[in-house]
Amino acid sequence: MNAKLAGLLCGAAAGFIMTWAALTDPRVIREMLLLQSTHVFFLMGSAIFVAAIGVRVLRRAGLRSLVTREPIGWTGEPPATRHVVGSMIFGAGWSIAGTCPGPAAAMIGQGQLMGLVIAAGILAGVVLAGAHRTPRAAASGEAVGAAGL
């Protein structure tokens, strides 16, 4: 299987699940952020729990990835100021829009016009964030950020 096709399928599974779990409904995000509902907290927590065990099992077994044939592994990243500052700006936008990059994309698939508006904003914001970087800094920044992306 082609790597891009595998990525498309993984994305499609994620988009389907996000939509099924109503993460594309800004009311659900709003209830979570107002601490009125535990749905999203438990959802993210259980996703992290399953992923944390799953990826460690793969790494411990010394497997190679099926499509790209790489030894399975990763490196974490030490925290830096940009993680805090960026996440504060991101958190503010998340709170106002009631959605974030993944669910906003799924929203477009659902045919919600507002998803397109938010996605257009995200694209503009991504360009703005990249504008002050030199190509070299951008490349290294992305390489470092790749662990978290």
The amino acid occupying position 38 is T
Which residues 22-51 are close enough to bind another protein by CB under 8 A? 22, 24-27, 29-30, 33-35, 38-40, 42-51
106: how many CB neighbours lie within 10 A of its CB?
Answer: 22
11 binds another protein (CB under 8 A): yes
CB of residue 134 to another protein, shortest distance in Å: 14
CB of residue 136 to another protein, shortest distance in Å: 14
Q: How far apart are CA 29 and CA 71, in angstroms?
A: 37
Which residues 123-142 are close enough to bind another protein by CB under 8 A? 123-130, 141-142
Which residues 52-81 are close enough to bind another protein by CB under 8 A? 52, 54-55, 58, 63-68, 70-74, 76-80
CB of residue 64 to another protein, shortest distance in Å: 8
CB of residue 61 to another protein, shortest distance in Å: 10
